[in-house]
Amino acid sequence: METLMVDRVQNSLRFFMHRNAIFLCERLCAEFPTEINLQLLATCYLQNGKAYCAYQILKGTSMPHSRYLFAMSCFQMNLLQEAEAALCPANEPNVEVPDGAAGHYLLGLIYRYMGRQALAIEHLMQALTLDPLLWAAYDELCVLGAIEEANDYFSDMAAQRIQQQYLSESSSLNSSNGSEFYNLSSNMAVTSVDSIPRQSKQLGNNTREIASLPLSVMIAKVPASNSGSSNFSQYITPPAATQLSGVAPPPLCRNMHVSFNVANNDVSTKLNNIAVQAPRRKVLDEGKLRKVSGRLFSDSVPRRSTRLSAEAIAVASSNRLSAEAIAVASSNATQVIGNGNGHTSTKFLGGFSSSSSSKVNAASSRSLTFRKGHSWISENFDEGRRSEAFDDSRMENMATTSSSTSMSGDSRYLEQGKAIGDLAQDSRLINGAQELLCLLRTLGEGYRLSCSYRCQEALDAYLKLSEKQFNTGWVLSQVGKIHFELVNYFEADHFFDLARRVSPSILESMDIYSTVLYHMKEEMKLSYLAKELLSVDRLSPQAWCALGNCYSLQKDHETALKNFQRAVQLDSRFVYAHTLCGHEYVELEDFENGIKCYQSALQIDQRHYNSWYGLGVVYLRQEKFKFAEHHLHKAYNINPRSSVLMCYLGMTQHALQRNEDALEMIERAISADKQNPLPVYQKAIILVSLECYDEALNELEQLKESAPHESCVYALMGKIYKRFEMHEKAMLCFGLALDLKPPAADVATIKAAMEKLYLPDEMDDTL
Amino acid sequence: MSRVWTRDRRVVTAGGRQAAMATELDGEEETAAAAGKLTGSPQLSVEDDLREMAKNAAWSVSSYKPGNNVLSLRDDNLDTYWQSDGAQPHLVNIQFQKKVKLQLVILYVDFKLDESYTPSKISIRAGDGFHNLKEIKTVELMKPVGWVHISLSGNDPRETFINTFMLQVAILSNHLNGRDTHIRQIKIYGPRPNPVPLQPFHFTSQEFISYSTIR
């Protein structure tokens, strides 16, 4: 009944029949309250968005996957401390993070939102090493500013790793019996636990990671009672082997022989043989070890509860184990052993007890066949991964030699066939992995560059994509964002529009699109966008940000603020909503609340330079120039290519009377973006204050060309001519300035200046 | 209840606003209009470069009837009103935290509803505090219905704004010689500050504006 219920629940989950799944699962847990079933129930709840229910039922559980699910529910409920404690228990500092890459990713997120950046970065990197296709971890790392080279993460090494993963996965799925036996054998290998801790320690010495420690801990957990065969300890030495050698095939061959030798007595002799050869094996890469072990752990976790110890089984399957162990030992020894640790053993044992021995024999030989192939392949790929010493051809050779080491007996042919078939599959797998990694590499490069605001290079990176990939919502909106950062609002508009046409329900970067339209003062388009986004998803923060921008454009700052606050309520981790709230408060001259909003934005994402800029502007308005400079500088450090930021920095430095620095910064701003007229204008202002009127006039003449309808240019020119006492020119300029319809305040100032034209320059501080 | 006389639509008030209701024209009213008396308009129309200034100001009144206190002046609700409860002149005091530039005072009054409670003569004073208020404008209203716009600008373009710490709206007399007064809403407008700090002038062209801020 239990398995039937589990099956129905999983089926319901797959077809999104959540109520059915939850109901059945609750019945299941009531009937068979095991931790595995609790995990299933928690999964049902989490999939249905009911994190609080999952939290309730998983409190206090200790299996790795349960802890992962518990941490996930805590994270969704924003209970970050508990989530961290679940994944990294304080009293067990060396315990492996459950569920490998996923666990590390979740932990990275938790640390990020707790503000512990260094730890977050460490765990995210870990996640990426364990699972090179985990784009989300890469995304977070870019946002945190921790990526130096995309190539490191989507390299060919990663391809090998992926292959290994898939192989071990497929192997365990291939035949249930086989997998059981596989587990058993590997488990049996594990039973020779005694020496393994030694091995692991050696490994630990040789490799950089501490991963070996968790491994040894896990291994230690395997009950000693399982090792009914102490003689197995003899062949543990393999992992200690440090040299990659072409010896691999021969031992393998011998293993084969051994494997087919059902007689127990053969075992020990063969073992000794293998033990001799094994030492030449190279120390395994810890990363592989962890990854594979992680994978197998997750497979075997559900069966822990059925752990039994059956010595008979241990003995009977010792041959398998030995052969298995040996084969494994010569290559991935520690890996598989680690994999088989504890859990898998029980899994097998549980299964074993229900089958007859003959069946076991037959199945075991099959599994062995399959295992052989597997271990060959994995061995090959392992060696391939030790890339320094190997090249592909050699790998191929080994594979062929291994496969060609023919064994007498049909089973051997079977094995061979299987091995070759596996090989072909593997080469396809590795090609596929490499292609995917190539794609991810390009995307990663573009994304990383755009996160460090190197916009031109990011654009180049994205252009390398194939057309089909480029014309997708995500890429197009990323390109739009890049143009937005480059202040090319027209281009940005174009790309965002394309993105919306390609995928009409895209929401992700639409808040940036609304800001683009805000800058372009396109009221119609902006309100249309806001309406559309709301109709797609009324509960998305982007839609409310767009609507807020719409009101802000119409100068209705209170309503805009309300909308941005709604966006914050919908998703308090959405940085931009906080920043926009801050902007609106500042427009309403409520500086205190504005500062608070900017600071909450910075708590979520320290690299959101808009918030740093916002804080700088607040302090500028309050005339706290030193504070302003500090904050603007921080923004500038994050985005050193923004000419607007440089311009503001220059203005602040001018206000602090540091005119040389100011002029230098302004020059940088001018060269960063030739189309930005503001730095030139600021330069003119500074020159006027330094009484270098002629140079200022030069700059203003330039501006007349590039921005012919700008009233302030003429107003400033008029002021300069007034200083020169060139009254007609001054009148002309003031007149032109007035013609361009400045707001009332400026009209007043300019008219006042005109009136006073023929009066001597008294304390003319305003003008 | 006497007939309500309001202006003909074509007649323009001193502030340049027109009366919305077209009803009978009375000769006396016309001369009154020509004399520059204000009447209300149903629309609150303010230029784009002005904004409401008194949200963070301290508002106080000389007297009020319980239930109709100063909050009703600022609640954006035209049904609630402030009712004074003392001797004339009735005063509404608005104090700012720092010197601000002001251009426009707008009141909402309704002769049809309030009759003798409707103000007829209003004086606007400005200064640093209660001790040195100086009258800057006086207006007379003629049966106003709607928003009454009172500009604070002088004739000189240099005097578009007044720069002050405090503003006082004094109700000197009411229609039909009423003692107390009703005012339903008051708004104070001044120029918007430059969105770009540290600038002597505002930016007008799209080229400048699009590069002027980061959002």
pLDDT single digits (tens) B145-160: 999 999 998 887 778 8
Residues of chain B neighbouring A708 (CB-CB closer than 8 A): 205
Looking at the DSSP bridge assignments, the partners of residue B164 are B100
* Residue A243: burial class (beta carbons within 10 Å; 0-12, 13-18, 19+): exposed
pLDDT of residue A102: 86
Chain A nearest C-alpha distance from B160 (Å): 6
Which parts of A486-574 fold into alpha helices (H)? 489-502, 510-520, 523-536, 541-553, 557-570
Of A710, A740, A747, the CB nearest to B157: A747
Q: What is the CA radius of gyration of chain A?
A: 34
Residues 6+ apart with CB under 8 A from A748: B157, B158, B159, B160, B161
| CB–CB contact B215 A685 (8 Å) | no
B54 touches chain A (CB under 8 A): no
A37 touches chain B (CB under 8 A): no
B118, B122, B127, B129 alpha-carbon torsion, rounded to 10°: -40
- If one compares B173 and A410, the residue with the highest pLDDT of the two is B173
CB of A297 within 8 A of CB of A341?
yes
Residues of chain B neighbouring A740 (CB-CB closer than 8 A): 204-205
Query: How does DSSP classify residue A656?
Result: T
Query: How does DSSP classify residue A354?
Result: T
pLDDT of residue A720: 92
CA angle in degrees (0–180, nearest 5) for A214-A217-A222? 130
A767 touches chain B (CB under 8 A): yes
B207 touches chain A (CB under 8 A): yes
The bridge status of strand B145-151 relative to strand B162-174 is unpaired
Nearest to B187 by CA among B78, B68, B37, B39: B78
Chain A nearest C-alpha distance from B190 (Å): 9
Residues of chain B neighbouring A487 (CB-CB closer than 8 A): 210-211
B177 touches chain A (CB under 8 A): no
Residue with tokens 């094996």: A281
Spell out the long-range contacts of B64-69 with Cβ–Cβ below 8 A and sequence spacing 24 or more.
Answer: B65/B180, B68/B182
Which parts of A386-488 fold into alpha helices (H)? 392-404, 410-451, 455-463, 467-470, 473-485
Query: How does DSSP classify residue A661?
Result: H
The pTM is what?
A: 0.70
pLDDT of residue B56: 82
What is the mean pLDDT for each group of 10 consecutive residues in chain A (767 residues)? Answer: 88 90 90 88 89 88 84 90 83 65 88 89 87 88 78 71 72 50 41 41 41 39 40 42 42 42 43 43 42 42 44 42 40 39 39 40 41 41 40 42 43 55 74 86 90 91 91 93 92 95 92 95 95 94 96 93 96 94 93 95 93 95 94 94 93 94 94 92 94 92 90 92 90 92 88 81 51
Residues 6+ apart with CB under 8 A from A345: A183, A184, A187, A188, A190, A191, A222, A226, A307
Q: Which residue of B has its CA nearest to A549?
A: B215
Taken in order A525, A531, A535, A539, the sign of the CA dihedral is: positive
| CB–CB contact A520 B210 (8 Å) | yes
| CB–CB contact A644 B213 (8 Å) | yes
pLDDT of residue A417: 53
Angle between helices A195-206 and A333-340 (to 10 degrees): 130
| CB–CB contact A740 B204 (8 Å) | yes
Say how many C-beta atoms besides its own lie within 10 A of residue A529's C-beta: 25
- What's the full length of chain A, in residues? 767
**CB proximity under 8 Å: B 72-101 to A:** 101
| CB–CB contact A678 B211 (8 Å) | yes
Residues of chain B neighbouring A742 (CB-CB closer than 8 A): 201-202, 204
Kindly report the backbone phi and psi dihedral angles of residue A134, in degrees, each rounded to the nearest multiple of 5, phi listed first: -85, 85
ipTM of this complex prediction, to 2 decimal places: 0.75
A296 touches chain B (CB under 8 A): no
**CB proximity under 8 Å: A 599-658 to B:** 609-610, 613, 617, 620-621, 642-645, 647, 651-652, 654-655
| CB–CB contact A744 B49 (8 Å) | yes
| CB–CB contact B211 A644 (8 Å) | yes
Residue with tokens 């205190």: A592
